[in-house]
Structure 1
Amino acid sequence: MKKTLLATAIAGAMCASAAQAATVYNQDGTQVDLYGNVQLGYRSVDTGDGSVDDIFDNGTTLGVAAEHQVNPGLIAYLKLELDGFAGDELKSTPYGSGDTAYAGMKGNFGDVKLGSYDTLIDDWVKDPVDGSWYAGVYNSASYLAGDNNDREGDQLTYKSPSFGGLQFAVGTQYKGDAETDNRVESDSTASFFGGVKYTVGALDLAAVYDNLGTYDGTVAGNGDYDAGDAYGLSAQYAMAAWTLSAKYERYDGTDDTEALTNVDNANMYAVKANYAYGMGNLYATYQYVDQDLGDNDSESLNQVMLGADYSLTSAVTYFVEGTMYDEQDDEGDFVATGLAFTF
């Protein structure tokens, strides 16, 4: 089964928060904030017949966020985050990548945004049980065949306002026929995703569906291809210093996915506990993965993630994180440690 470990790791790396952002312009209803971080770390990853290690960039980011008050009930906004700086080897590695880039409008009607950003199933289902810094346990994107680096791009999403704690979201990822990463030859494709979220007190509940429509099509010369669907449920409860989370996520594959990845479908059941001890967090995730390999064959995995971080100040945080994936010969297991300086 093909696993996109490093892509998942980078996608799951903690993004900068604008909480410490510096306001560089605030006039005539427009506010512009500048923020960023430098994250450098050391990792050791098991390859199955040994291990490899390096000092690496864990998502160094420079970000700009802006808002403009169109009228008392309408705000236009944008966010641009650039990463891929390879801060550990910046002088020898040219910059050539990015992270988040979107623009939108929000008001009493809800929130509409267009661009590149985390998928809804990641936000509402994966993130509550995922790793805080480097990488967590498997999710539905781990089973997508081929290159899925475009998973977050070309999205349009509408999120409703909260109706007594209930919120819904719908959206699409659109790949036009001029796109080089379009998997369908000479045709445009669009996915559909949607979800509902309910908040009552300290409890958050969410359900998300994604038809993965832009992953259908022609893959590696194999003809027509059905990438399947993804579903997810999550629950998160905060009490004092503890946050408890759980998810059920299903990758519902097809005969096509089985032919390329050896997995027909996969069910993922995870629980996470996070303890905020004042200067940082201690957290652990356990996930049980039930994989249907077709032909009445199956495989189960017991995955464990452990992590801790410590904030020397509000701007400087040290972390250590490790995950065991329970694959053959321990392939993919890792330990990572490092620091982040944010502003």
Structure 2
Amino acid sequence: MKKTILAIAIPALFASAANAAVVYDKDGVTFDIYGRVQANYYADHNQSVGATDGSWGFSDTGTPEFTPGTAAHYSDVDGEIVGSSRLGWSGKVALNNTWSGIAKTEWQVASENSDNKFNSRHIYVGFDGTQYGKIIFGQTDTAFYDVLEPTDIFNEWGDVGNFYDGRQEGQVIYSNTYGGFKGKLSYQTNDDVAVKVTDIGQSITEKAVYGKNVKRNYGYAAAAGYDFDFGLGLNAGYAYSDLESTTSTASGDKKEWALGAHYAINGFYFAGVYTQGDLSYDTTTGGDKDKGRGYELAASYNVDAWTFLAGYNFKEGKINSNSANASYEDIVDETLLGVQYNFTSKLKAYTEYKIQSIDNLDDEFTVALQYNF
């Protein structure tokens, strides 16, 4: 049960890996490739830059950028069909009876008229020591994502009720499991361009959480959890980043913690996570702190070739929380519904609907066909 909970709950994330083609497997050396190609139709809608990119934090001058509810944050998106593909490979070579060398790369490739045509997702190399754990070096999700992953079950949307920065480069990550216990630690070295463009769907992008021209001096994260034999899993995590502006004297740090739980039984899956984040910044005029909090709920039911999904994401932020008139403002408030049908293990169709509760935002809708190899 422990090994299958997330594989059942997150078909969108594991579909490609499950269909990986083994190109070479001999004398302790394995090499495989995987990927997917898909086309989405997105209906006409308005979108909010502020609501979808999670931008809260200091600008070039150290002043807050988050201004929810302003008309400037909204833009029209015409109905269109968008194509995209993903390609990855992984390799493993046995060094002895315990240790192996491992490597992985994965890229997202968008269609001609889409933004961010060629994005690296995972690029790392390292060692797998079986019972001694795994250590990798490169670009991938930080340890903090382990707490968020159980609610990230939708093909298209979801997983926005948090302040996670997305995949990061320059990392050292150690992970291990013992019985039902699991743990992960990650440390990120200096990153001169801390703002990442992180894909949250097929060629739909969002900024990281703290504005423009920010350098991450270093960062670290930790996550721990326990999966019970009867289908219940518990998780907790913490992340920290030391930040400074590359165009001013502003500096600060970002902290986030999260608690989560998930449960699977008889084709049903339920997950939830609660998180809080603090963004502090010092300027020539003094120190300020922005606060944020949010939660995510997700559920799915799988029967034969059908998977039915439902979710809810909520996030709010408070600018200059140490000021007398500071108050929380909604950033994300959305309900998600989805249906997926697997024609085979390689070909599936899905539709997902996002119901917006933020003023001036339209509901969003997509239909997609996806082929995995």
Spell out the pairing of 1:1-343 with structure 2 (5 A cutoff).
14=13, 17-44=16-43, 45-47=45-47, 48=74, 50-58=76-84, 60-84=85-109, 86=110, 88-89=111-112, 96-107=118-129, 108-122=131-145, 124-141=146-163, 151-162=167-178, 164-175=179-190, 179=192, 189-201=217-229, 202-213=231-242, 216-218=243-245, 221-254=247-280, 264-293=290-319, 294=321, 295-300=325-330, 302-330=333-361, 333-343=363-373
Equivalents in 2 of 1:168, 1:275: separation in Å? 28
Equivalents in 1 of 2:326, 2:296: separation in Å? 24
Contact 1:309–1:320, Cα closer than 8 Å, also in 2: yes
Equivalents in 1 of 2:228, 2:116: separation in Å? 47
* Inter-CA distance 94–141: structure 2 relative to 1 (3 Å threshold): closer
Contact 2:158–2:313, Cα closer than 8 Å, also in 1: no
Q: Share of identical aligned residues, percent?
A: 24
What do you get for the CA RMSD once the two structures are aligned? 3.0
Contact 1:212–1:230, Cα closer than 8 Å, also in 2: no
* Deviation sequence 1:277-300 (CA, Å, 0-9, x none): 221311111234343244232234
Contact 2:161–2:315, Cα closer than 8 Å, also in 1: no
Contact 1:305–1:324, Cα closer than 8 Å, also in 2: yes
* Deviation sequence 1:107-138 (CA, Å, 0-9, x none): 2211111111123222x222222352112142
Equivalents in 2 of 1:297, 1:95: separation in Å? 39
TM superposition shift of 1:50 = 4.7
Equivalents in 2 of 1:223, 1:16: separation in Å? 46
Structure 1: which amino acid aligns with 2:347? V
Structure 2: which amino acid aligns with 1:315? K
TM superposition shift of 1:22 = 1.5
* Inter-CA distance 315–50: structure 2 relative to 1 (3 Å threshold): same
Comparing 105-114 with 264-273, which one deviates more in the overlay? 264-273
* Inter-CA distance 99–137: structure 2 relative to 1 (3 Å threshold): closer
Comparing 321-330 with 201-210, which one deviates more in the overlay? 321-330
* Inter-CA distance 203–131: structure 2 relative to 1 (3 Å threshold): closer
Equivalents in 2 of 1:246, 1:95: separation in Å? 33
TM-score by length of 1: 0.80
TM-score by length of 2: 0.74
TM superposition shift of 1:322 = 2.3
- Where in structure 1 are there 5+ consecutive unaligned residues? 1-12, 143-147
- Secondary structure of the corresponding residue to residue 150 of structure 2: helix
TM superposition shift of 1:240 = 0.8
Contact 2:144–2:238, Cα closer than 8 Å, also in 1: yes
TM superposition shift of 1:89 = 3.1
Comparing 293-302 with 314-323, which one deviates more in the overlay? 293-302
Equivalents in 1 of 2:352, 2:248: separation in Å? 38
Contact 2:250–2:281, Cα closer than 8 Å, also in 1: no
Structure 1: which amino acid aligns with 2:93? H
Comparing 296-305 with 37-46, which one deviates more in the overlay? 296-305
* Inter-CA distance 42–303: structure 2 relative to 1 (3 Å threshold): same
* Deviation sequence 1:178-205 (CA, Å, 0-9, x none): x4559677xx821011111111111111
* Inter-CA distance 166–51: structure 2 relative to 1 (3 Å threshold): same
Equivalents in 2 of 1:305, 1:68: separation in Å? 42
